[in-house]
A and B are shown apart, each in its own frame.
Chain A
Amino acid sequence: MKTITIISWRNVWRNKKRSLAMIMAIAVGLWGAVMTLGITNGMMAERQRTTIEQHISHIQIHNPEFLKDDNIRNHIEKPEALFTTLDAAPEVKAYSARTMVSGMLATTTLTTGVQLIGVDAAMEDQTTDIESNIIEGRYLDVEGRNLLLIGQTLADKIKAQVRSRVVLTFQDEHNEIISAAFRVCGIYRTSNTTFDERKVYLRQSDLLAQLGADYMVSEVAVVLDAMEETERLSASLRASFPELEVRSWSEVSPELGYMNEMFGVMMFIILLIILLAVAFGLVNTMLMAVYERIQEMGMLMAVGMNRRKVFGMILLETSFLTLLGAAGGLLLGGITLQLIGESGINLVLVGGDSMQYMGFSSVIYPTLEPSFFVTLTLMVAATALCSALIPALRVMKLKPAEAVRAE
């Protein structure tokens, strides 16, 4: 076996140019695969992260009726027990208890539908990164009453800026219409322009004062230290609070999961196409190598090398070529991911800012799990074995008497 391995290894280098060309082709193909997958995975991971951190959190808890009708009367009854449980849960990083109503925001020129989110500024700041997304003005923790934090898309739409006055109109729990004037204290921008157009933040105390209500909580958004704890904690909360609707992020935003799956399938298909191209190249190279050495193969069988060993020699040669190319491609891909993964790729220059309309950040941080490289190596090994079959089977059909006399 050792000698067959040595012969196979040396055979790889008999035609250095051809072997190097094949190795480089494999390396470039795999580097391309790693980059494509890394960029796509980075896009999806970033979308998932920003959606969770900026918008939906890991877990959302509501009164079940609120999901059918977001009227303020469908609030969580006696939320204190829930808060106690969340305070005691070690996996909970932070949570925000929000008062929410749908309403209209009006200026002198325009009226538009919005969702008003009344928050405790400190709790909200620990749960989402809304404060870090402020591009103008201040967060809700400043002095003053009836202050608003609006998204840049909404601000552009209503032509508002910091200190602009707007009128909010909404209904209380008795369906009475309430109108109140508010002043814009800050403008934020997230990666989702639809969110920015709809969601308006204000102090919970200001909203409750307008509603004439005691403490009412429409939604509790929970952020965890580790995403992997989501399902386990969700199940635990459901068991403890069966009267509440507890949803994980994948239930709040199922399209996030679907999109991940869809991209996963697409990437698998792209990877298969790349590996198919690699396989064709390998088959071509190895068939040439076999045809050039028919006489030699015939001699080997004539002097007493069984067909299994000759078959194994071809497999080994193909494997060496493939693994060298794969090692180069994966290493290059890993290094490139490491370098670009920190600085990110800014797609604004190539029209990437429109991606925000679909909830994608225009700056992508390519990333791949280490386990992916293991999977890709196994797929490449399988490609090598399959590619080796055609030339190896060709060798198996050789007749030694004819082969030794081949030109």
Chain B
Amino acid sequence: MKIIETNNLTKVYNSTVVPVRALNEVSLAFSEGEFTAIVGPSGSGKTTLLNIVGGLDKPTSGEVIIDGVDITGMKESKLIDFRLHNIGFVFQSYNLLPVLTARENVSFIMLLQKEKREVMEQRAEELLRQVGLEDKMDVRPSKLSGGQQQRVAVARALASRPRFILADEPTANLDTESAFNLLDIMQQLNREEGITLIFSTHDQRVIDRARRIVTLVDGAVAKDDLNRPVA
């Protein structure tokens, strides 16, 4: 079942000065449970595509439809709420709140969703256990390694029960062991729970795990490799 569709997505920056065409009529569809890696050289439009699919940016033209809802023309306040309930984000720099513990960082999303306290606490613990951090729940990010912080970020992204997770270069700042640990967790979530993952990445380790690879070159889809055998 298709949960994300992009139709002729185009994004042009600095249209009145020196226009930069970051995306050029990109049309893609993502199905539930897919693990997709969006690859391409620097400047190919990977991050721009993720930002627009995630509702963080607006296209110059084209549309993004998520679960039948066109988010392209949505007002910002509605878009923020849509993101909160439908999309999980994992960033390259983890972006955890340093003043909150791991548990509080995960609970925070459910707090924004006005979830009940008992449900919040139970789910936060459950997610942190799932990512292998049951003994680090009450530790602040400054006391966690890069890999551990990224795992907290994954738990946070899952906390809102999103339709899909967008991850922009999630392994870029991780050492090999941490990167493999993270990928194992994400692959397990994808296989066992059917979480839809869309990664933007240069990392071959990620590419090897993805079942679908979309290659962007100069803002356009150069190749769309579906149903690959994975590692």
- Are A304 and B112 in touch, CB under 8 angstroms? yes
A401-B56, A405-B47 in contact; A296/B97 too (CB < 8 A)? Answer: yes
Residue A299 lies at the interface, judged by CB distance under 8 Å to chain B: yes
- Are B97 and A304 in touch, CB under 8 angstroms? no
- Are A295 and B109 in touch, CB under 8 angstroms? no
- Are A14 and B89 in touch, CB under 8 angstroms? no
Contacting B at CB under 8 A, from A282-336, are 295-296, 298-307, 309
- The minimal Cβ–Cβ distance linking B172 to chain A, given in whole angstroms, is 12
- Are A299 and B112 in touch, CB under 8 angstroms? no
The contact of A400 among B47, B56, B111, by CB within 8 Å, is: B56
Contacts of A298 in B (CB 8 A): 95
Contacts of B95 in A (CB 8 A): 295-296, 298-299, 404
Contacts of B181 in A (CB 8 A): none
The contact of A303 among B76, B89, B104, by CB within 8 Å, is: B89
- Are B91 and A304 in touch, CB under 8 angstroms? no
Residue A109 lies at the interface, judged by CB distance under 8 Å to chain B: no
Interface size class of B (residues with CB under 8 A): 20 to 34
Residue B199 lies at the interface, judged by CB distance under 8 Å to chain A: no
Residue A194 lies at the interface, judged by CB distance under 8 Å to chain B: no
Digit string of B86-105 for contact with A (CB within 8 Å is 1, else 0)? 00010111010111100010
Interface size class of A (residues with CB under 8 A): 20 to 34
For residue A298, which residue of chain B has the nearest CB? Answer: B95
The DSSP consensus for interface residues of chain A is helix
The contact of A304 among B57, B81, B99, B104, by CB within 8 Å, is: B81
CA distance A399 to B85 in the complex (A): 20
A299-B95, A302-B89 in contact; A401/B57 too (CB < 8 A)? Answer: yes
- Are B91 and A404 in touch, CB under 8 angstroms? yes
- Are B80 and A305 in touch, CB under 8 angstroms? yes
For residue A9, which residue of chain B has the nearest CB? Answer: B99
Digit string of A17-49 for contact with B (CB within 8 Å is 1, else 0)? 000000000000000000000000000000000
Contacts of A299 in B (CB 8 A): 89, 91, 95
Residue A269 lies at the interface, judged by CB distance under 8 Å to chain B: no
Residue B54 lies at the interface, judged by CB distance under 8 Å to chain A: yes
Digit string of B45-83 for contact with A (CB within 8 Å is 1, else 0)? 001000100101100000000000000000011001101
For residue B84, which residue of chain A has the nearest CB? Answer: A304
- The minimal Cβ–Cβ distance linking B110 to chain A, given in whole angstroms, is 10
Contacts of A7 in B (CB 8 A): 97, 99-100
Contacts of B160 in A (CB 8 A): 303-304
Residue A11 lies at the interface, judged by CB distance under 8 Å to chain B: yes
**Interface residue ranges, B against A (CB under 8 Å):** 47, 51, 54, 56-57, 76-77, 80-81, 83-85, 89, 91-93, 95, 97-100, 104, 108-109, 111-113, 156, 160
16 further A-B contacts with Cβ under 8 Å, apart from A304-B81, A304-B160, A401-B56, are: A7-B99, A14-B99, A295-B93, A295-B95, A298-B95, A300-B97, A302-B54, A302-B89, A303-B89, A304-B113, A306-B80, A307-B80, A309-B112, A404-B91, A404-B95, A405-B92
Question: Which 10 A-B residue pairings sit nearest by Cβ, starting from the closest?
Answer: A304-B84, A10-B99, A299-B95, A401-B56, A401-B57, A401-B51, A400-B56, A306-B80, A304-B83, A3-B111
